[in-house]
Amino acid sequence: MYKTIAISNEKGGVAKTTTTISLGAALVDQGCRVLLIDLDAQANLTLALGLEPGESEATSTNILLDNAPLLSARRKTEIENLDLIPSNLRIETSEQFLPVRTNYTTILKRAIAGVPNLPYDYVLLDCPPSLGAITQNALAAANLLLIPTQAEYFSAYALRNMMNLVRRIREEDNPNLAYRILVTMLDNRNRTHRNIHEQLRSTFGEGVFNTVIEIDTKLRESSIAGQPISRYKPGARGTTQYHILAQELMEYAKETENRQTA
């Protein structure tokens, strides 16, 4: 049974794309098969895997707007068992055209469900820094919403809108949507970071991953190099922390599945 994970935060610059590619590769290192779907017009995930956004005939836009089959837009990456559905600038038009359609928030959900025996263990959705029609589609399709959040005031404040959207999606499209907050770009030397991190844990409890992702320049370098951190610098702190996150996520998924089948 595959798990679909939307990686989203209204606030930009919180390591959404870095988390998508790094977590995806870490899951592959754990023996999983992973499909990444780029839903952002900036196409940073596509670029971070060494692909030019304009070179793909089929993208995530075709799935959302043209009812193209999910796997018709799939591209292989240089990493075995890590595949990508790329994005490009055209996906911005989805925010304009999707809301006039009936049941538009579940188009992606239906596209994923429409593939019999989907050959992946995890599907990771890299969302744009907004809470519009594209992100709503991702949350409607997801088993879990992963929210990367810096331990800074504005990033933490943006969680309010995120939680409001989670409640709405649960009411209208996806009653079983769960969420987990991932603290990223943490600087343990910074008192404000430590304080906000503690406040997040106090407020959200088990809704915060135990794993944190600390500041690591190698993570930024890996994106420029077109490789996940685990391939760019296997010994980097970011590699270790995303591997730990992958293990925590897999344990969470297993516990959730056990509860549902009990």
DSSP the chain: --EEEEE--SSSSSSHHHHHHHHHHHHHHTT--EEEEE--TT-HHHHHTT--GGG-SS-HHHHHHS---GGGG-EE-SSTTEEEE---GGGGGHHHHGGGSTTGGGHHHHHHHTSTT-S-SEEEEE--SS-SHHHHHHHHH-SEEEEEEESSHHHHHTHHHHHHHHHHHHHHT-TT-EEEEEEESB-TT-HHHHHHHHHHHHHHGGGB-S---B--HHHHHHHHHTS-HHHH-TTSHHHHHHHHHHHHHHHHHHHHHHHHH-
pLDDT band at 28 (very low <50, low <70, confident <90, very high): very high
- State pLDDT tens for residues 52-81: 887 888 999 999 999 999 999 999 999 999
Report whether pLDDT(208) > 70: yes
The number of domains in the chain is 1
Looking at 96-100, 217-221, 241-245, which range is the least confident one?
Answer: 217-221
- State pLDDT tens for residues 153-200: 888 888 999 999 999 999 999 999 999 999 999 998 999 999 999 999
Looking at 42-46, 247-251, 253-257, which range is the least confident one?
Answer: 253-257
Report whether pLDDT(6) > 90: yes
pLDDT band at 1 (very low <50, low <70, confident <90, very high): low
Highest mean pLDDT among 52-56, 251-255, 258-262: 251-255
Q: What whole-number distance in Å separates Cα of residue 238 and Cα of residue 216?
A: 6
**Which pairing describes strands 144-150 and 34-38: parallel, antiparallel, or unpaired?**
unpaired
CATH number, residue 242: 3.40.50.300
**What's the whole-number mean pLDDT along residues 38-54?**
92
**What's the whole-number mean pLDDT along residues 82-92?**
95
Judged on CB neighbours under 10 Å (0-12, 13-18, 19+), 237 is middle
Domain hosting 31: range is 3-261
- Answer yes or no: are the C-beta atoms of 84 and 38 closer than 8 Å: yes
CA-wise closest residue to 67 among 102, 42, 43, 32: 102
pTM reported for the whole predicted model: 0.95
Considering only residues 56 and 250, tell me which one the structure prediction assigns the higher pLDDT.
250
State residue 153's pLDDT score: 83
State residue 226's pLDDT score: 81
Percent of the chain scored above 90 by pLDDT?
A: 82
State residue 262's pLDDT score: 63
pLDDT band at 125 (very low <50, low <70, confident <90, very high): very high
Report whether pLDDT(117) > 80: yes
**What's the whole-number mean pLDDT along residues 29-33?**
97
State residue 152's pLDDT score: 87
